[in-house]
Amino acid sequence: MAYDRISDANEITARYMDSILIKERLIDSVVADTGVELFGERFASPVMTPAFSHLKQMGGRELTGLEEYSLAAKNMNILNFVGMMENDMFQRIIDTGAKTVRIVKPYADNAKVKDQMKFAEDAGAFGIGMDIDHIFGNEGLDVVIGEQMAVQTSDMIRSYVESTSLPFVIKGVLSEEEAVKCADLGAKAIIVSHHHGRLPYAVPPMMVLPGIRKALEGRDVKIIVDCGISSGADVYKCLALGADAAAVGRSMLPSLEEGGTQGVQKFLEDVNNELRFIMSCTGFARVDEIDDRCLVKC
Ligand SMILES: Cc1cc2nc3c(=O)[nH]c(=O)nc-3n(C[C@H](O)[C@H](O)[C@H](O)COP(=O)(O)O)c2cc1C
């Protein structure tokens, strides 16, 4: 029988997510609390913003999209992430008051990596990290907006971890083996991600979550996940499969473009409200109680 082959990891991820269904447990259930503690700080939700870059002003408004979504994160008391940017832009993110993790690119210019990490720490970042899944491109080492990327060795990553008192987050982990390596190098969190499908046939992050959770048992490493997350149901499934928190991604862009801070805040609140509803309907009162007993794979 003929069939259509798909190599796009975004589509594979969406299909996997939608193949997971949810059972109810209602008697004795209560209205759930979506609050979480991360690195000693209390947040209102395990929903996070994605590590985005290069969002300019939208709809003729004054602030860039990066500042607008950071303000929404601040207003909601959720953890904020940003990606590739220069220090002056990062300062503007800090000025929004959002608790922000700065994900620095694996630049070939190692002095730039260290400078951006130090700047972030001095400016008052909540955490720092690196997206290790943006090293390679089809022609070898990638060039991102004119900036050369470079291989990152264990020694280099250990030196970043040791250079800061902030939690260090490694973004772009997609195997149990690499998750354990991150823990050994001193990372305080990993983001299980295929970076919106950079790798053909990349395994859906939620498919490797249970294995990664098991591999990191007893280690002090938070598991964050992203890719293809657009609803509270998606977040719930990720938590049930082993994540501590989950970031939305391009799913927030239409609300951001149209409505700025208010628009994206409404989107994030809707995601969190759906998460609370599903937690309540499945008998989990708190985020750290959620497990996979109410999931069914079809
Ligand atoms: C406009 C845009 C800019 C991004 N910039 C970065 C970045 O600088 N650093 C990074 O680690 N990831 C970056 N990402 C990837 C996201 O952080 C995230 O991993 C991805 O969008 C998740 O997939 P999803 O959009 O399908 O949910 C970017 C994504 C987009 C759409």
Let me know if 54 is a catalytic residue: no
Q: How far is the CA of 195 from the centre of ligand 1 (A)?
A: 6
Q: 96 with 126: CB under 8 angstroms? A: no
- Does 263 contact ligand 1 (Cβ within 6 A)? no
Nearest residue by C-alpha to atom 28 in ligand 1: 52
Domain hosting residue 223, numbered range: 9-297
Q: How many residues does the chain have?
A: 298
Residue 4 domain-assigned? no
- Give nearest CA residue, ligand 1 atom 30: 52
* 64-121 tens-digit pLDDT: 999 999 999 999 999 999 999 999 999 999 999 999 999 999 999 999 999 999 999 9
Residue 1 located in a structural domain: no
Find out whether the beta carbon of 249 lies less than 6 Å from any atom of ligand 1: yes
- C-beta separation of 47 from 268 below 8 A: yes
| Model confidence at 262: pLDDT above 90 | yes
Q: Tell me, yes or no, whether 114 lies in a domain.
A: yes
Q: Does the pLDDT of residue 1 top 70, yes or no?
A: no
Summarised one tens digit per residue, pLDDT across range 203-218 is 999 999 999 999 999 9
Let me know if residue 133 belongs to a domain.
yes
* pLDDT per position as a tens digit, 57-76: 999 999 999 999 999 999 99
| Structural domain includes residue 2 | no
For residue 192, report the distance from its CA to the centre of ligand 1, in Å. Answer: 13
H/E element holding 48?
A: strand 47-48
pTM of the predicted structure, to 2 decimals:
0.98
Whether 65 is covered by a domain: the verdict is: yes
pLDDT reported for residue 16? 98
List the catalytic residue out of 54, 134, 195, 196: 195
Q: Is 3 a domain residue?
A: no
Residue 2: pLDDT over 80: no
Examine the pLDDT at 160 and tell me if it is beyond 90: yes
64 pocket-lining for ligand 1 (C-beta < 6 Å): no
Specify the ligand 1 atom closest to the Cα of 134. Answer: 11
Which residue owns the Cα nearest ligand 1 atom 2?
Answer: 52
Could you tell me what percent of the chain has a pLDDT over 70?
Answer: 100
Find the CATH number of the domain harbouring 278: 3.20.20.70
Query: Encoding tokens for residue 38?
Result: 């991360």
CA of residue 194 to ligand 1 center, whole Å: 10
Residue 224 lies in a domain: yes
Distance CA 175, CA 96 (A): 35
**Mean pLDDT along residues 243-268:** 98
How are beta strands 100-104 and 127-131 bridged, if at all? parallel
- pLDDT, residue 296, reads 98
Mean per-residue pLDDT over the chain, rounded: 97
Count of structural domains, the chain: 1
